[in-house]
Amino acid sequence: MKKICLLLVGLVLTFSVDVYAQEKKETSDTYIKLGIVHSSGKIEWADYVINGMSVEVETYFSDNHLGISGWSIGYRKDNLHYAEFGHLLNVDTFRTKSIKVADLKFGGGIEWGMPSDGFSHTRFNIRTDSDLSYNHVFLNKNSNIPGNGLKNDGALYPFLKFGLVKRSKAFILEAGTRVNIMKFGIDEYNVSDNKLTVTLRDRRMAVPSVFVSLGFGTQ
């Protein structure tokens, strides 16, 4: 996972340098976008529902660079009623292809921050007074948030993005789906006759979400 993330970071930096150099020679279109995001599904036995809002700054090149049509950087806030978590930064590159009425858009990037606690669930099973088991599902955190003083309190994961885009110089409308590649811990604890048995395992999953965003050009 670390190698994949480092490779994506390297690609994004390469494209960013290329953008900076090219923008001096030609005009590109930049938009500020606001959006809503919804994700729901099941991890093992645990259902999750996560809603959020996003803001992005997105640039489209006048010509493709290295096969890339543009890039964006953004912030997403999940679980709006909680301030302590659900703060995520993301950066991605993408390619578009015209289908006359709109553009097909596909790309990918990385996301980092303090994820929602909506993926964390615990289930208790009480069979007798001396017999107890419980299961815990949670997102594996693999990154540190500066200033918190805690280890592995954040998450860094890659994602893929697919959508339809309709845009002009003045506005942009986009709808699509996004798939985060994430790893989850699935822990099982059993107490029987005062003896504890623990089973720990990981599961990597594609976690989809749908989004709609509307934006306006900056020029």
User: Mean pLDDT across the stretch 97-124?
Assistant: 93
> How is domain 2-217 classified at the architecture level of CATH?
Beta Barrel (2.40)
| pLDDT grade for 10, boundaries at 50, 70 and 90 | low
Residues 116-167 have pLDDT tens digits of 999 999 988 866 666 788 899 999 999 988 876 667 789 999 999 999 999 9
- DSSP states of the chain: -HHHHHHHHHHHHHHHHHHHHHHTTS--EEEEEEEEEEEEEEETTEEEEEEEEEEEEEEEEEEEETTEEEEEEEEEEESTT-SSS-EEEEEEEEEEEE-SSSEEEEEEEEEEEE--GGG-EEEEEEEETTEEEEEEEEEPP-BPPTTS--SS-BEEEEEEEEEEEEE-SSEEEEEEEEEEEEEEEEEEEEEETTEEEEEEEEEEEEEEEEEEEEEEE--
CB neighbours of residue 193 within 10 Å: 6
Distance CA 198, CA 188 (A): 6
Cβ(211)–Cβ(76) under 8 Å?
no
Domain ranges (residues) in the chain: 2-217
Tell me the whole-structure pTM to 2 decimals.
0.80
Q: Which tokens go with 183? A: 């790893």
**What pLDDT, on a 0 to 100 scale, did the predictor assign at position 35?**
98
**What pLDDT, on a 0 to 100 scale, did the predictor assign at position 4?**
44
